[in-house]
Structure 1
């Protein structure tokens, strides 16, 4: 889509071919080469000339090509962020109350924003990270600053957007993701996928990157580069995670990041711990229309006690056979499956949230970013390589999120006890030990 308005270039970087010729002559537009040698200026990664040279001799970047092909013949156009926002006081319309621990953590976050510090918030799943952001975001918005909250996954962004809109209902908000409906709009508050940060350049005074342990952010150095480039040089960057990676912990130890640690959920209860149930040849049985006996018994117990649950499977390819086996085993139950490419996934998640479904069968698409009260969590095939330690911890974290039901069951059905599963168990036990020691103490930096 051709850029026609100057405001569409505020704090963004757009290839010159996508900018109206009438705008290119404007003195406010800054143009810089898309490549510095073999390095892409949009994602910071290098292109191998042997495989990326075009017939005209230019090279292109294969790493961020999903945002549109960028070549060494292109220029990136931007206009310095002017912060043209109308002040609305107070910005925060949320009327909830933080716990003592949350409030102390929130104070540290706001202080980091005010001091333009880069920060890591290590908080367990269900700690109430989003609500802890509100005072700091309110301070930034009231100061006329530009704010963004980014997450690797579209579903998380779509979950965050209405919560942020309700918390700051007088502030214009943009929600950006691939295949979104509608055109881009210049707004003070932006919610976007981390891929969309590739389109921004020195735009945000405050940038929050949620779920930094999640795919694809955790494995894509271009997205880390994009997050650093999207904030202003004197801006504040906050990383949020329940499972900090090695590089984040190293950065904290070196003093490059200020770390705040919150190992307990907002309702004061510990994380439900993972129980592993050994199975044999579950996939072969599933294709015969059968399920592991212990899983069947557990599901029957849930149906008897009207306990809803999520059932995770490793791959989309497993879902048809799993659905058939469930329908044969429980003919009276409605079996609904969901995955990332499912065009009805949002509607299905809404049905689960509104309690129309007793359970939902899913892939890792629901490992994070969604909350269903009073549920248990089961994983079939937890030994599969598709499940990382971070994914398994996040999946376990779907249980026990509500104060009315903080002790949901977590059962992993696996052919073998892998190192990944054991590490996930150890991480949850580690934070629970920390939580026991500081339940009555203040949040402290580590």
Structure 2
């Protein structure tokens, strides 16, 4: 039998590498240990055991494979999964793993305590925290609480950018603990650890692995609305476990579950420095696409950029589509010589360009929604050209606005949306910011 029709992963010699991990094998491979279970590639209805979907492509001799999770290695009718159940948790005698020396605000500590209560009661929880609220630091006590009980923890996010930014912060906060970082091009070789940081796609390779699953930016693409990733997240949890949903912009489904009292929620409407969110400012312009075909930008945008050229103020300029980036950057170069770069999701130099902005080597980035979340540039303003385009959802607008005012040195800033007309998404985004600011003001007033 040819081995061309199945994907064989590395030979695992440590039984712990099988704990909660779906290891793809040939169906002719025998288990290396009596504790290892051999699981079928598909259920009786034809659903893929790894991703839960039912989209097949044919192979010779009547065999077939799953086309949906192919990027994780080809799961075919010639394959199987080797998996082992993790033994009962081995607690560390209550000793703390947390090496972070920072402190939480009173409200942050309250939310952290509520998360810990959910862990102890085996409940899920929504943490609705505004951008810049310090939600990563808030989660440290909860992770530590679970680890002290010998539990296994995964913190995941749909976007690689978010994971790469979280990695050094988690490693610093838990410096005595082995942290495994998993994403598509990760250089790390898989091995069992108590703390895993990964993209949500990596959850496809787990089954009943985690006592605590923390999903950061749960509303973002590609997790939002993807049944495969929702299946993966549910499958990766142990039967008795908790999921903590972290977001500044909850999905309609999460809000519905909260309102129907099916999902407890914690609110943090103030940023770590105690200031309210910057509100949206709308500026009407004409047909900017038409002007751009002539190599020009709307006058109101030109005036704003020239102000920045004179003051040195750093900024992000968001555009609806990748095809607009180069023409806009060229048009800016005609009116000022300030340094800026264009960056988008498929840009091979994306990481380097983002780092240049962090290092203040450039004054601005022209970008798409890829930078709507997961990255922080201190002291910036935000401009959104064509904010009324359908590509900018309510959540995207709120997240983009949240790039501003995130540090102590500059706690406010400008969020300027250039539009031809108002849209439902823009109105909803403005309303959501006002809603959280009202909660934040009430909190500041001690109500």
TM-score, with normalisation over the residues of structure 1? 0.92
> Contact between 2:382 and 2:404, CA under 8 Å: does it hold in 1?
yes
CA–CA distance in structure 1, aligned partners of residues 285 and 124 of structure 2: 45
Task: Report how many residues are paired.
Answer: 436
> Contact between 1:83 and 1:146, CA under 8 Å: does it hold in 2?
no
Pair 1:183 & 2:183 matched: no
1:209-288 alignment, distance < 5 Å: 209-288=215-294
1:157-196 alignment, distance < 5 Å: 157-196=163-202
CA–CA distance in structure 2, aligned partners of residues 82 and 420 of structure 1: 48
> Contact between 1:85 and 1:188, CA under 8 Å: does it hold in 2?
no
Extract unaligned runs of 5+ from structure 2: 1-8
**Residue-by-residue CA offset, 1:305-339 (whole Å, 9 max, x unaligned):** 22111111112221111121111121x21121111
CA–CA distance in structure 2, aligned partners of residues 192 and 430 of structure 1: 32
Deviation of the 1:372 alpha carbon: 1.2
Partner of 1:118: 124
> Contact between 2:219 and 2:249, CA under 8 Å: does it hold in 1?
yes
Pair 1:46 & 2:54 matched: yes
Partner of 2:373: 368
Greater mean alpha carbon deviation, residues 144-153 or residues 413-422: 413-422
Q: Structure 1 residues 60 and 21, CA, compared in 2 at 3 Å: closer, same or farther?
A: closer
TM-score, with normalisation over the residues of structure 2? 0.92
CA–CA distance in structure 1, aligned partners of residues 324 and 204 of structure 2: 34
Partner of 2:20: 11
Q: Structure 1 residues 438 and 180, CA, compared in 2 at 3 Å: closer, same or farther?
A: same
Pair 1:30 & 2:37 matched: yes
**Residue-by-residue CA offset, 1:347-404 (whole Å, 9 max, x unaligned):** 2212211222211111111110111111101111212222211111101100011122
Extract unaligned runs of 5+ from structure 1: none
> Contact between 2:89 and 2:149, CA under 8 Å: does it hold in 1?
no
CA–CA distance in structure 1, aligned partners of residues 49 and 214 of structure 2: 22
CA–CA distance in structure 2, aligned partners of residues 393 and 315 of structure 1: 18
CA–CA distance in structure 2, aligned partners of residues 172 and 441 of structure 1: 41
Q: Considering only aligned residues, what root-mean-square deviation do their CA atoms show, in Å?
A: 2.1
Q: Structure 1 residues 249 and 58, CA, compared in 2 at 3 Å: closer, same or farther?
A: farther
Greater mean alpha carbon deviation, residues 76-85 or residues 148-157: 76-85
> Contact between 1:118 and 1:256, CA under 8 Å: does it hold in 2?
no
Pair 1:389 & 2:389 matched: no
